[in-house]
A and B are shown apart, each in its own frame.
Chain A
Amino acid sequence: MSDLELQAELGLGARRQGATRRPRRIAVAEGLAGAVALFLVLSAVMPQLVAPGDPLAIDPLQAFQPPSLPHWFGTDESGRDLYTRVVHGTGNSLLIGVLATTIGLGLGVLLGTLAGMLGGFVDFTVNRVLEVLFAFPGLLLALLVILIYGPGVATATIAVGLSTAPGYARIIRAQLVQVRSSAFVEAATVQGLTPRRILARHILPNTLAPLLVLATLGVGQAIVWATALSYLGLGAQPPAAEWGAMLSAGRTYITSAWWMSFFPGLFIVLTAVTATTLGRAIERRMRHA
C-alpha cells in the first residue's frame, strides 16, 4: 500500500518549509506523544504494574457496569474489567503491529535495495512485480492471504506485513536512486573513494536513516489494519484481550454498552496518533541534525 508514499510526500513538503517551524511548539506535542508511548510500552511489557487485576476474571454480578471509579472503563458481558483488559491487550496489539512492520519493512528493504542497487533488468523486474502488487490495494492482499491460510493472529500479522511491503519497497528504491545520483556521492566519486567506501559511508546511512521514520509511522498503521482484521473476525478471536477482538465483541452490545466498543478503540486511535507524531518528530530531528 502506499500510505507510506503519502508520508514520504509529507516529508518532502515539510522539508521545504521545515526551517520556519518553532521548536518549542513541537516539544509539547512530542512530549505528550512520548509520555503516551511510554505508557503504552509499560502496559505492553508489565501490564500488572498499570492494571493489577486479572483480564480474564469474570464477575457476572458486575456485568455491563458503565464507567465508574472501581471500573474506569466499565465492565463487559461477563463482568470483566475493561480497563484491565484494554491494558493487558496492549502487548498483543503492539506485538502484532511491530511484527507486521518488521515483515513488511524487511521484504521492502530486500526488494527496494535489489532494485535500487543492481538497476537494469533486476530493477525492471522488481518494478513490474510492485506494479502488480499495487493492483491489490489496501487490505485486498491481506484478505487474499487470509483466504489461503485461514483466519488467525499469525496469518493476520503476516498478511498485514505482506500488504505493506510493496509500499516500503517503492520508497526505499526511490530513496536509493536519489542518494546514488546526489551531489555528495558524485563528489566522493570524484575524490577517488572506492565504491565500497562510498556505499558504506555515504549511500547506506542516507538510505537507512529514513527507515526509522518509516518504521515508526508504519507500526501505527499496521496496528490499525491488524485490529481491523480482528474486528472483522479474521485475526485474533474473542475472548482474547486484543483491541480489535474486544471491539468485535462489543459490537453485539452496542445499543446498551457503548463503553465496550469505545475504550478499546480509543487506545487504537491513541497509538496511531502517537506513532504519527513520534515518526514526524524523528524525521524533523534527522533533518536538522
Chain B
Amino acid sequence: MAEPVRRTPALRRLAARLGGAVFVLWAVATLTFFAVRLIPGDPAEAILGGPGSQASAEALASVRAEYGLDQPILVQYLAQLGRLAGGDLGRSYALKLDVGPLVLSQLGGTLVLAGLALALAWLIALALATWSTRGGRIAARVGSGLEIVAASLPHFWLATALIVLFSIWLGVLPPISTPGPAGLVLPVLTLALPLAGFLGQIIREPLLTALESPFVLSALARGESARGVRWNHAIRHAAIPAISLSGWAFGSLISGAVVVETVFARPGLGRTLLNAVTVRDVPVVIGVVMVVAVAYILMTLLTDAATRIADPRTRAR
C-alpha cells in the first residue's frame, strides 16, 4: 500500500515543478515586455541611434515595420512570446546582431568563471570551517572574523586590490583577463572570496552542532575515523542550509560577473548586460534576463535534487 502512495506525489510534484517553471518564465517574459514600454522615447528612434540621429520619417517608418513596432501592442506581445517560445531572442538595436547567438557566445565564458569560482568558494569555506572548528576557541574567532570580512568585500574593490597587489606590485598575473589559465586566476579569486565568506558563515554553526550530536559519537563508537565522520556525516548536515541558499549564491555570482567581467575586460554575459543597459539596447537586456531566468529555474530544480541527495529525510516526503 505504501508503494503507490509514495509514487503518485513524486510524479505530481515533478509536474507541479515544471508547471511552476513555465509560469515563472512566462511571467518574466511578460514583465520585461511591458516594463520596457515604460522607457521614454520612440523605440524606432533608439534603433536608429537615439534622438540625436535626426532620422527621417521614412527611415523611422521602415524600422517600425521591420521590428513590428507599427502593430497593436497585444499583437507585438503575442509575437514576442511566440518568438521567445521558439528560442528567438530578437535583434540587437546597437550591434545589429541576432541576440540568441550573441548571448550564447557569451554564456560559456561566464559559466567557466562562475563554475570555477563556486568550486573554489566551497573549497575555501570547507577548509576554513573544518580548520576553525577543530582548532579551539581562538581559531573559531579568527575563522568567523575572516568570514565576515570576506563576505563584506565588494567585488569591484577586491578586484582592484588584487590587480594592484598581483599585477602592479608583484607583476605575476595579468591585470586584464587574457585567454588561458593565468588570466582566470584574479577574476575567479575575486568572485570566490566573498562567496566563500558567506558559505563559511552558513556552514559553521550546523557543522559545530552536527559534530556535537549523538550520531557522531555513535559513528566514532562504530570505529569510524574522525576524518571519516567529519566528511561523511557532519559535512552533509552543514551542506543542507548552504544548498538551500544556492539561489542567493546564484544571484551573487551573476551580479559579481557583471562587475568582474567589466573590471577585467573579460567577455561574458555580465559585461554584455552592462553594456546593453548603458546604451539601452533593449533586446540584448531582455535576452540576457531570459537566459538568467532559465538558468535560475534550472538551478532551483537542481537544488531540489541536491537537497534530496544530501538529506535522505526529504526523500520520503
Q: Which residues of A contact B (CB under 8 A)?
A: 1-3, 5-6, 9-10, 13-14, 16-17, 25, 128, 131-132, 134-140, 143-144, 146-149, 151, 220, 224-225, 227-228, 231-234, 244, 247, 250-251, 254-255, 258, 261-262, 265-266, 268-269, 272-273, 276-277
Chain B at the A interface: mostly helix, strand, loop or mixed?
Answer: helix
Closest-CB distance, A149 to chain B (whole angstroms): 8
Q: B27 touching A132 by the CB < 8 A rule? A: yes
Q: B168 touching A135 by the CB < 8 A rule? A: no
Of B244, B248, B276, which contacts A3 at CB under 8 A? B248
Binds A, one of B48-56, B63-71, B156-164: B156-164
Instruction: Say whether, besides A3-B248, A254-B168, A261 and B160 are in contact (CB < 8 Å).
Output: yes
Q: CB within 8 Å of A: which of B10-33?
A: 20, 23-25, 27-28, 31-32
Chain A at the B interface: mostly helix, strand, loop or mixed?
Answer: helix
| Chain B window 245-267, contacts with chain A (Cβ cutoff 8 Å), 1 for yes, 0 for no | 10110111111101100110000
Closest-CB distance, A129 to chain B (whole angstroms): 8
Instruction: Say whether, besides A9-B202, A138-B255, A224-B154, A234 and B160 are in contact (CB < 8 Å).
Output: no
Q: CB within 8 Å of A: which of B194-240?
A: 198, 201-202, 204-206, 208-209
Of all chain A residues, the one with the shortest Cβ separation from B254 is A138
Q: B152 touching A220 by the CB < 8 A rule? A: yes
Q: A10 touching B255 by the CB < 8 A rule? A: no
Closest-CB distance, B47 to chain A (whole angstroms): 15
Q: A276 touching B296 by the CB < 8 A rule? A: no
Closest-CB distance, B98 to chain A (whole angstroms): 20
Instruction: Say whether, besides A17-B205, A138-B255, A143-B274, A148 and B36 are in contact (CB < 8 Å).
Output: yes
Instruction: Say whether, besides A25-B141, A276-B152, A6 and B205 are in contact (CB < 8 Å).
Output: no
Is B112 close to A, CB under 8 A? no
Contact residues in B for A13 (Cβ distance below 8 Å): 202, 204-206, 209, 241
In the complex the two chains form, what is the Cα distance from A265 to B164 in whole Å?
13
Of B160, B244, B262, B289, which contacts A265 at CB under 8 A? B160
Closest-CB distance, A287 to chain B (whole angstroms): 14
| Inter-chain pairs besides A135-B24, A137-B248, A272-B154, 20 sampled, C-beta below 8 Å | A1-B248, A5-B248, A10-B201, A10-B202, A13-B241, A128-B23, A136-B28, A136-B289, A138-B255, A139-B254, A143-B285, A151-B278, A224-B152, A228-B259, A231-B156, A234-B278, A251-B160, A262-B160, A266-B157, A272-B152
Closest-CB distance, A67 to chain B (whole angstroms): 14
Q: A144 touching B152 by the CB < 8 A rule? A: no
Number of A-B contacts (CB under 8 A): 170
Q: Which residues of B contact A (CB under 8 A)?
A: 20, 23-25, 27-28, 31-32, 35-36, 38-39, 141, 148-149, 151-157, 160-161, 163-164, 168, 175, 198, 201-202, 204-206, 208-209, 241, 244-245, 247-248, 250-256, 258-259, 262-263, 273-274, 276-278, 280, 282, 285, 289, 292-293, 296-297
Contact residues in B for A134 (Cβ distance below 8 Å): 247, 296
Of all chain B residues, the one with the shortest Cβ separation from A4 is B248
In the complex the two chains form, what is the Cα distance from A258 to B164 in whole Å?
7
Q: B289 touching A233 by the CB < 8 A rule? A: no
Q: Nearest 3 pairs between A and B by C-beta?
A: A137-B251, A13-B205, A265-B157
Contact residues in B for A268 (Cβ distance below 8 Å): 154, 157
Q: A269 touching B293 by the CB < 8 A rule? A: no
Of all chain A residues, the one with the shortest Cβ separation from B256 is A138
In the complex the two chains form, what is the Cα distance from A258 to B152 in whole Å?
20
In the complex the two chains form, what is the Cα distance from A276 to B150 in whole Å?
12
In the complex the two chains form, what is the Cα distance from A75 to B75 in whole Å?
58
Q: A148 touching B259 by the CB < 8 A rule? A: no
In the complex the two chains form, what is the Cα distance from A128 to B201 in whole Å?
29
Instruction: Say whether, besides A143-B273, A147-B282, A132 and B250 are in contact (CB < 8 Å).
Output: no
Contact residues in B for A139 (Cβ distance below 8 Å): 251, 254-255, 258
In the complex the two chains form, what is the Cα distance from A13 to B160 in whole Å?
34
Closest-CB distance, B174 to chain A (whole angstroms): 13
16 pairs from A and B in contact (CB 8 Å cutoff)? A132-B24, A132-B31, A136-B289, A137-B250, A137-B255, A137-B292, A140-B251, A144-B289, A147-B39, A228-B259, A232-B156, A232-B259, A247-B156, A250-B160, A254-B160, A261-B157
In the complex the two chains form, what is the Cα distance from A78 to B216 in whole Å?
63
In the complex the two chains form, what is the Cα distance from A176 to B272 in whole Å?
41
Contact residues in B for A250 (Cβ distance below 8 Å): 160
Contact residues in B for A251 (Cβ distance below 8 Å): 160, 263
Closest-CB distance, B299 to chain A (whole angstroms): 9
